[in-house]
Amino acid sequence: DLVRVLGTPLHPKSYVENCCASEDFLSIVVPLLYIDDDGRDASAWSDRFPLEYIYELRRTYTLDGAINEFTQEYLCRAEDQASKPFKPGMFKYAAPSPAYHAYEVMVDPARTVNTKTSARTGYVVWHWEGRTLYVAEAFGAFHKPDEIIDTICKLNEQYNPVKVGVEADGLEEFIMQPLRAEQAKRGISIPLYPQRAPRDKNSFISSLQPFYTAGDVVHVKPLPDLESELLNFPTGRVDVPNALAYAIRMRAGKPVYEDFTSENVF
């Protein structure tokens, strides 16, 4: 007799997952959203569920702190939320104080944008207020080198950062020379600080977890790319959290005077 099982995997040890793992069953998994051969998002049923609809659906789930449910129901990925290092309740939102802030920018450039396993370029802007890390911008994009350079220039103009970090490998291969030419063309100077890529990316990103647990990370606004990737971590894309993890490495040491504040700048 034939047995057909239809279901949504709600847990790694659920009946549906056990059937998928069994040699007695032929398994077919159809996620609503997947990565195509060009490394871009694609809809499994584009006529009924276009990408704009899926993105809005994912954004709604993310803002409701239910990205795990979205992953289960629409991406067919069974995950045990208890094992995830980052939880929805860790995200705090608040505006920074109305004072001077020493913004820092980190760019994690992707070398390719046309392969199935290609990563996105991650961009993050932050500043520290005491021990609190305020994240102003955090997003990922499939950018070509000229688009990466243009985005770096725009972030530099908008935030006037004291540091702009770029992963050294990408910087040396295809970013540095064009970026120098663009600075000369625009008549600007960008405070570049090359950063060496971590040996263990997962451990590098996990270093953010104690800061989120302690409430020492504040998002200035909803940051869907960052939040969804953190909640899915260690599975899925990690381009934006990887860029944010550099905030710990790039953070300046203690000031000469412990009571130094923005008032001293004035």
Percent of the chain past pLDDT 90, that is, above it, reads 44
Res 149 pLDDT > 80: yes
Question: Which uninterrupted H or E stretch holds 261?
Answer: none
- pLDDT at position 258: 58
Q: In this predicted model, what pLDDT tens digit does every residue of 134-144 receive, in sequence order?
A: 999 999 998 88
What is the pLDDT of the chain when averaged over all its residues? 85
SS3 at position 164? strand
- pLDDT at position 173: 57
Q: Any idea what DSSP says for residue 109?
A: -
Q: How far is CA 216 from the centre of its chain?
A: 18
Res 116 pLDDT > 50: no
- pLDDT at position 237: 81
Q: How far is CA 39 from the centre of its chain?
A: 17
Which residue reads 């057909």 in tokens?
4
Res 259 pLDDT > 70: no
Q: In this predicted model, what pLDDT tens digit does every residue of 178-226 receive, in sequence order?
A: 888 888 999 999 998 989 889 899 999 999 999 999 999 999 999 999 9
The sign of the torsion formed by the CA atoms of 139, 108, 87, 51 equals positive
pTM summary value: 0.70
Q: In this predicted model, what pLDDT tens digit does every residue of 9-59 receive, in sequence order?
A: 877 778 888 888 888 889 888 999 988 877 678 999 999 999 999 999 988
Contact, 245 vs 205, CB < 8 A?
yes
* Angstrom distance (rounded) from CA 13 to CA 19: 10
Res 65 pLDDT > 50: yes
Res 115 pLDDT > 50: no
- pLDDT at position 14: 83
